[in-house]
Structures are given as C-alpha cells and as structure tokens.
Structure 1
Amino acid sequence: MNRYLIVLDLDGTLLTSEKNIDPRTKEVIQKVMEAGHIVMIATGRPFRASKAYYEELHLNTPIVNFNGAYIHHPHQPEWGTIHSPLELETLKGILETCDHYELTNIFIEVKDHVYINNPDPLVADLFEIGNPTITYGPIQEKLKEAPTSVLLQTNEQQTKAVLHALDTEYSEAIEQRSWGKPSNIIEVIKRGVNKAVGIKKVAQDYNIPPERIIAFGDEDNDKEMISYAGQGVAMGNAIAELKALADAVTESNDDTGIANYLERTFLL
C-alpha cells in the first residue's frame, strides 16, 4: 500500500468556528490512520495551544508549530527539535523601525516564554493557554533571546505602511504575513521558515514523496504547504488567493470539509 501523509492546519481548517473537532471529522481521520496513512498537524500556534487537539486525535507524529519555526515529535525526543528563531539583532532593527508608527501592541514568543509590550486583558487569554511564562513591559528592555515568533499589532490605517517599511528594510531576513480585522496583526518570522519546510522533513522521514502528501489549509500561512503537497486542498472558507493556488477546494471547516475530502479520496 502507498501510504499518504495528511497534513492538517488547525484554525479555520480542522477546527470548527467553535474551536473544536467535529465528531465525524475525528472518526474519518481515525479510519484513515487505521488504514495505515500518516496524519500530522501544521499550525501557526505554539505546541502548548495545539497539544489538546494532537492528543484528541491520538497522533504519534511530529508536529509543525509557529508556522515552521518550531518542529518536534512530542512522543519521541530522539527525533530531534528544529527551532528557527529570528535573529535578535534583526528584531531590534524591526522594533526601531516600528517606533515611527503607532503600534497598538507587540507580542513575542520564545518557545513557551511570552513577552507582551502592553498589558491587555482582551488578548492575554489567548497567550495564557498552556500556562506559559509571561513577561510584561518594554520588550526592547526585557527580551534577551532570539524570538520564535513576533506579532505586531497595528491600527488598521497603518498596517500597509508598516508592511511596506519592513519589506523594504528587512526583506532578506524575514517572512511577514498580515491578519486583518479585528486584530490587525503583522506576523514576522525568520526568512525561509514556513510550514512546508517542516512537512518536507517529516515526509522524508516516512519516505513519502510530495505527490502522496495531502495538505489542508485556509489562510495566507498555508500557501507554501498547499503548493508543496501533491494534493493541496483549500477549505471552502479559505481566502481567495489560497483557493486559486490549491489543487482542490473542499467544503468549509464548519461543514466537515476534511472528512468529506478524505472519504472521497480513500473511498471510505
């Protein structure tokens, strides 16, 4: 049997709008694994915020977190850890550039240590999942380590200007993506880091070629893995750019799109 590697994004893809896994989707994924195929998660979330879903699916595979900046196998430490943080000097330059703009907040994660520039109870809950260490206060003074992920919260009017400034000054050092309303976030990670990098490493370990990789996603941070996978599948709720890039479009995350596609593909 030719095994497939099935890659699942979390938010907007595997998870419904209620942030849970639909029972039917879970059942189909279990059938696919019982048939011998490999299932893994690739998400922008840190592991602490994706661990519960990993365990709910009874996975025993490596996981891609922070959009590829952190990759490890939760059950096999000997598999190794791939951590690709942004250089600290690059971050300092970015923060100096951002001083010219009115940022609402700055959130930085170094694995499970979270730095928040301005205390904000509305967003603190999002970072408290998994009980990380949280440090509040001026990040330029507090941060002494290379960051895994950088989130810049802008006001809507200045998002494009900040993106342009960072692209002009740091395009060779960083990857950046923006999320729109309501948060208006610019995410910055090290250049060359994306979900596809981690998926390629896992696929090689399982001796699975790209043509036998099925990847599901919905957002800008899924573009590289959708392009890399032999079957890149966009959810029905995905952004238009991802649908145009994908090999197929399935139903939305609230309409069991993953389960439907896997049933059609593997004739379950």
Structure 2
Amino acid sequence: MNQHLIAIDLDGTTLNNQSRLTSETIRTLRAVAHEGHIVSIITGRPYRIAQRIYDEIGIRTPMVNFNGALTHIPHQHWDKEYDVELTREIALDLLAQHEQLGIDTITVENKFRVWANHASNHLPEFLPNQLQPNQVLTADNLDGNPIALTIEYQPEHEQDIVKAVNEKYDDFVEPRIWGGPYNILELIHRGTHKESGMFYIAKQYNISKSNIIAFGDEHNDQEMLDAAGRGVAMQNAIPTIKKIADDVTSVDNDHNGLAKYLQAYFKLEP
C-alpha cells in the first residue's frame, strides 16, 4: 500500500473521555507507523501539553500544534520547522482592555514558554494553574511575539471580544470559539488552520492528497477533514464535522473508534 499520512486530532478523537490514550490506540498507531505510514498529531493543544502524548505513542514524525501555527519534530532540530506568529502588541492591547471586555484570563504562548495575566484552575491542563513571576503577562515579561493567544471570558461578553478583535485586527487575526462547555476563545493568524500543517507535512514526504487520512470531531478540524483525501469524523463528532466528512467511525473516541477504523482500513490485527 502507498505511504499514507495519518493526521490525528487529539481531544475527542485519539484520546478517550479521560484525555488518555488506550493501549489499543497506542498499539494500532505504532503498527501503522511500523508499516511505513506517517502518523502525525495535528492538534490545537500547545506543545507543552501534547508532548507527553507524542512520547507515549512513540512516534518520531512531525507534529502540528496551535491548530497549524507550529509544525516541528519534537526532541530534535528539524530544518523544516516553522511557526506563524501573532504580535506582542495584540496581547498587550487585550491585556489593557481585559476588564472592559469581560476577559478573565489571557494566556499567551510560544513553543516553549507561556505567560498569563493570572493563574487559572478552571482548565488546569490547558490554562496554567501556576505561574512563576517571569510568567505573569506584562510588557516587561513578554519579550517577543507569541504563536497563540487564548482568552477565557465571561459568556455575556463573547461578542464584545469578537467585535473588538475584528475591528482592530481583522486583516490578520481570526478569533475562534472553542464551543462545548468552555468559554474559551483563541486567536490564530488568519488563514492558518490545521490543514496548513497537514499539507506541509505531506509535502515533506511526497504524499499526495489522495493518501491523506484525517480524523477529527470538532469545529477546528473542519478545514483539515474537508481538505484531506479521506476525512473521517468520529462517531462522537459534532454534526457539522459529520456532514463534511467522507466517513464516520463505527464507534466513538471512548471505545477506540480511531484505532478500530485504522485496523479495518490497513487490515491490521486488532
């Protein structure tokens, strides 16, 4: 079989409902990689909370973080690594207006560093629940351009924040609401989505679009699944994702849906 790129979202897709990998998923992904296919994590998660999953799977292929804004190979220097930055000014501007706009927490990140206006216990894996003094978001501490900016907001102010961002930064920043139970909005560089990293990786390995299989379940997977040769929605995916997908897994993320799909597609032993 021709070499494939297997592009896998993490939360709600590769991970179960406890945000963990099952032994079946690990075995299946390793088996697919052993067959010579490229297994790549393509996630909205920052590197700091995706690295352990990458290591647990045991792959050595490129990973995409921040919904396409960072593509790299962990633990090594890769001369094809790239990132798409926002600007320091946006972060400091929103920090100055955070009370007026109903913003509770602003988290700013690059590949290895994170800053926030204060610690948060609401989403301890995604938002920092502890900060060192040099991680507090201030003009003095933020010494470069970030890759990603995440806002935890008061729900009644959602449209106020979106409007403020669009009015001032619409030409190069795109606000995206997480959805689900979280009042989280992230800012990404306009035009940078998961499929950007997916196609970049495919190009490095000379893999054609027809040999790309992408898995996802949420809004931020839409461009990736729509662009892949085979876009696969999880059984637990939102209706929008199922509608644009080429296929849907037979079972959900909490019952090894991704692993079972790959086993059937590549004719692997369960």
TM-score normalised by length of structure 2: 0.88
Relative to 1, partners in 2 of residues 1:227 and 1:81: Cα closer, same or farther, differing over 3 Å? same
SS of aligned partner of 1:79? coil
SS of aligned partner of 1:152? strand
User: How much does 1:13 deviate?
Assistant: 0.8
How large is the Cα RMSD of the aligned pairs?
A: 2.4
TM-score normalised by length of structure 1: 0.89
The more displaced of 92-101 and 216-225 is: 92-101
- Structure 1, unpaired ranges of 5+: none
User: How much does 1:87 deviate?
Assistant: 1.9
Output the CA distance in 2 between the equivalents of 1:223 and 1:152.
21
Count the aligned residue pairs.
267
The more displaced of 140-149 and 104-113 is: 140-149
Report the equivalent of 2:55: 55
Relative to 1, partners in 2 of residues 1:249 and 1:140: Cα closer, same or farther, differing over 3 Å? farther
Relative to 1, partners in 2 of residues 1:75 and 1:116: Cα closer, same or farther, differing over 3 Å? closer
| CA offsets 1:56-112 (integer angstroms, 9 cap, x no match) | 222010110111111111254143321211022344444456553121111111322
Relative to 1, partners in 2 of residues 1:77 and 1:240: Cα closer, same or farther, differing over 3 Å? same
SS of aligned partner of 2:223? helix
Report the equivalent of 1:249: 248
Relative to 1, partners in 2 of residues 1:128 and 1:120: Cα closer, same or farther, differing over 3 Å? closer
Output the CA distance in 2 between the equivalents of 1:252 and 1:34.
25
Output the CA distance in 2 between the equivalents of 1:55 and 1:84.
24
Relative to 1, partners in 2 of residues 1:265 and 1:157: Cα closer, same or farther, differing over 3 Å? same
SS of aligned partner of 2:232? strand
Instruction: Kindly provide the amino acid, as one letter, of the partner of residue 41 in structure 2.
Output: I
Instruction: Kindly provide the amino acid, as one letter, of the partner of residue 155 in structure 1.
Output: Q
Contact 2:214–2:225 (8 Å) recurs in 1: yes
Output the CA distance in 1 between the equivalents of 2:245 and 2:234.
10
Residue pairs, 1:136-151, within 5 angstroms: 137=136, 139-140=138-139, 142-151=141-150
- Structure 2, unpaired ranges of 5+: none
Output the CA distance in 1 between the equivalents of 2:248 and 2:152.
31
Report the equivalent of 1:162: 161
In terms of fraction of residues, the more helix-rich structure is 1
Q: How many percent identity over aligned positions?
A: 37
Contact 2:91–2:108 (8 Å) recurs in 1: no
Contact 1:90–1:173 (8 Å) recurs in 2: no
The more displaced of 77-86 and 146-155 is: 77-86
| CA offsets 1:103-139 (integer angstroms, 9 cap, x no match) | 111111132221111233444554559x996745454
Contact 2:8–2:40 (8 Å) recurs in 1: yes
